[in-house]
Structure 1
Amino acid sequence: MGTTSTAAAGSYHHGNLRSALLERAEQTLELDGVEGLSLRQLARDLGVSHGAPGRHFRDKQALLDELAYDGFVAMNARLEVAAHAVGTLRERLDAVARAYVAFAVEHRTLLSVMYTTKHAPDASERLRLISHASMDTTTGLLRQGQAEGVLSAGDPERLALVAFAAVHGVATLASNALLDGVPVEAATSATVAVLWAGMTAPPATT
């Protein structure tokens, strides 16, 4: 994205510079990584004064924090849509997994920033709360399955964590082109199939 025109830059003074900074910052993240991101460069890209971004973000870390928060909002929205789509519980779990992997592939660097920022010692409570929403969505689906007798008994939060670990593994491999030619959706569906088989298996008898 090149430098904006004078007219476009002037419009930022009417309240949308913050959103423009976040949009451009995410683009920069995916192209150049965290190291390539700076408030000064964003100002140049958007054609505003060097001090203008400081009115919205005190420093680069504050910008990254907001990117992380917005990233979780966007990701959680996708997972919520998938979780409440028409279909069986099995189909909706598969849809949630595919939505997560798709987001991870599309926003590889942003996702890394989201989790790194979330786990930072000084992470805000606001960020911690929004970051848990996706796990709550999965846990809710598993609780529903247990209540309906579709899934075996067990701690739904622990099961959701295991499911997340497996699907996140696929997302990581896909984001780094390490699936050895296996289509992303096929790898995701196979992973959910294994998880589903484990969660629906009857307890072992002795």
Structure 2
Amino acid sequence: MTSSLIAAIPAAPSSADRPPVKAASPSEMPALELMYTRKRDPDIPEQLADAIARTKETFFRLITDAQERGEIVPDDPERIALLAGAALHGVAGFTATGHLPPETALTGVDELVHHLLHGLRPR
């Protein structure tokens, strides 16, 4: 599942190609405004609404496919997608506000997905 999830996420530019991240409020960063405010606006452009719907559908499909293969619990896939998506969204928000270095976020996504799938209990 981890490799499926990673493959579904577009490749991020290398850290050398990204500008330094500076902590800011949502009003100072268009990406945060989009993440936290504009996507809930009833007047958002159709293209943005479609992109949000495609993202949710892709994530939901990854969850249901993994359930069908027996890789994750057969619980409510919408709830699992919501909670797992919230965790990944948190990584993006922390990175965008400067609380998490981009390199740590990029290398930490695989670990986060592992913990979401397998829990945090020692094995």
TM-score class, shorter: 0.5 to 0.7
Equivalent AA in structure 1 for residue 31 of structure 2: L
Separation (CA, whole Å) in 1 of partners of 2:82 and 2:50: 16
- Residue 55 (structure 2) aligns with: 134
Q: Which amino acid aligns with 2:76?
A: D
Are 1:93 and 2:14 counterparts?
no
Deviations 1:21-50 (A, max 9, x none): xxxxxxxxxxxxxxxxxxxxxxxxxxxxxx
Q: Kindly report the root-mean-square deviation, in angstroms, between the aligned alpha carbons of the 2 structures.
A: 3.2
Alignment-mate amino acid for residue 131 of structure 1 = I
Over 3 Å counting, the alpha-carbon distance change for 1:184 and 1:118 in structure 2 is closer
Please state if 1:193 is matched with 2:105: no
CA distance in 2, matches of 1:181, 1:150: 29
Q: Secondary structure at the match of 1:132?
A: helix
* 1:187 Cα deviation after fit: 2.3
- In structure 1, C-alpha distance between the alignment counterparts of 2:102 and 2:56, rounded to whole Å: 29
- Equivalent of 2:90, from 154, 169, 173? 169
> Which residue of 2 is the match for residue 61 of structure 1?
none
Higher relative contact order (CA 8 A, sep 6+): 2
Secondary structure, in 3 states, of the residue corresponding to 2:49? helix
Structure richer in helix, relative to its length: 1
**Structure 1 counterpart SS, 2:83:** helix
Task: Give the structure 1 partner of residue 34 of structure 2.
Answer: 114
- CA–CA separation in structure 1 for the residues paired with 2:102 and 2:2: 26
Structure 2 gaps of 5+ residues are 22-28
Q: How far has the Cα of 1:167 moved from its partner?
A: 0.8
TM-score (norm 1): 0.43
Change (3 A) 1:123 1:192: same
- 5 Å matches for 1:61-76? none
C-alpha distance in 2 between matches for 1:144 and 1:176: 33
Is this contact kept in 2: 1:94–1:192, CA < 8 A?
no
Contact residue 117 and residue 123 of structure 1 kept, 8 A: yes
The verdict on how the C-alpha distance between 1:120 and 1:193 changes in structure 2, with shifts beyond 3 A counting, is: same
Q: Distance in 1 between matches of 2:52 and 2:102?
A: 31
